[in-house]
Amino acid sequence: MRKIEENIFKVLMILSTVIISSTLFMILYTLFSKGLGSLNWDMVSKIPEGGFYIGKGGGILNAIVGSIYITIGSTILGLFVSLPIVIYINVYAKKNAALATITRLSYDILFGIPSIVYGAFGFAIMVYMGLKTSLLAGIITVTLMIIPILVRAIDEVVRVVPEDMSNAVFSMGGTRYESAKVILRQSIPGIITAILLSFGRAIGDAACVLFTAGFTDSIPTSLDQPAATLPLSIFFQLSSPIQEVQNRAYAAAVVLTIIVLVINILAKVASKNLSKNKI
């Protein structure tokens, strides 16, 4: 009797595992088979020409470049905030100190806040600061959204740097600041993983930039111009009734999928090399 129950559950477990792990391939298959046909060099190398949204010529270069600007800008800005925070809670605040715990807890909570809420908050800041929808407003909002990702991921790797490492610095008369430099150097592969993870998240998120980055057919040349992003360009084109425009959405989806897959796989490879420099 108990053997039967075990076997039934075993079958169910394997079935669930197969279903869940095959969803990835199902999704990739659908996106590629639908979009590859419409993907051509014009799509990725040209900005929309007049009448793009009624099926005339052009491509999605504006969205690709806009996404890259926002993603790189916010990742750099995010690093400036998150690296000091991680250093502070790991080097300056003693281990398990209340402040470190509270910081980790609040970043775990901030991590769970949906991007649409960041979008709405970013919009509120934008109005408060008198900005209009622009590259800058988009970068600020996305930065807010990815700081929790960066802090959690970098904290994860800095935490496991052996304590001996900083003790060695202290025993030679070094300051905490100098030990922080040593610890950071040890964590570089992990930091790269964190950067790639936040990159992947930032490039794929639509809800967050919906209010703040605006949308445009041209490539922004300064921070106060609106910028298009890939997810929004997919979203807008898909809602078009014209088949040709919809096909472009599918092609843009393939571009985004490839970018995200490459970033995620790179992150995997980088984190594999994590243990390289350990004592």
Partner 1 sequence: MKNIRLLKDSFVSKSFLALTILSISTVVLIGLGLFYKSIPILNSTSLYNLLFSSEWKPFKEAFGFYPFIVGTLWVTAIAIIIALPLSMLTAIYLSEYAHIRIRKLVLPLIELLSGIPPVLYGVWGVLVIIPLIQDHIAPHFVEFSTGYSVLAGGIVLAIMIFPLIISIVIEVFVNVPQDLRNASLSLGATQWQTTKKVVLRKSTDGIVAAVVLAISRAFGETIAVLMVCGNLAQVPQNIFDSAYPLPALIANNYGEMMSIPMYDSALMFAALLLFVIIFLFNALSRIILYRIEKRNN
Which residue's CB is nearer to partner 1, number 69 or number 250? Answer: 250
Determine contact, residues 249/255, Cβ cutoff 8 Å.
no
Q: Tell me whether residue 32 or residue 218 sits nearer to partner 1 (CB atom).
A: 32
**To the nearest whole angstrom, how small is the minimum distance from the Cβ of residue 105 to partner 1?**
6
- In this structure, are residues 229 and 214 in contact, taking their beta carbons and an 8 Å threshold? no
| In the complex, least distance from residue 51 CB atom to partner 1, rounded to whole angstroms | 21
- Judged by beta carbon, residue 19 or residue 160, the one nearer partner 1 is 19
CB of 130 to partner 1, least distance (A): 14
Structure tokens that stand for 218 in this block:
């041209």
Query: Hey, what amino acid is at 245?
Result: V
Q: How far is the CB of 66 from partner 1 (least distance, A)?
A: 14
Q: Which is nearer to partner 1, 26 or 277 (by Cβ)?
A: 26
Q: Closest CB to partner 1 among 53 and 121?
A: 121
The identity of residue 201, as a single letter, is R
Of 165 and 238, which has the nearer Cβ to partner 1?
A: 238
**Cβ partners under 8 Å of residue 227, min gap 6:** 66, 69, 70, 134, 135, 138, 213, 214, 216, 220
Minimum distance from CB of 13 to partner 1 (Å)?
A: 4
At its nearest, how many Å lie between partner 1 and the CB of residue 94?
A: 12
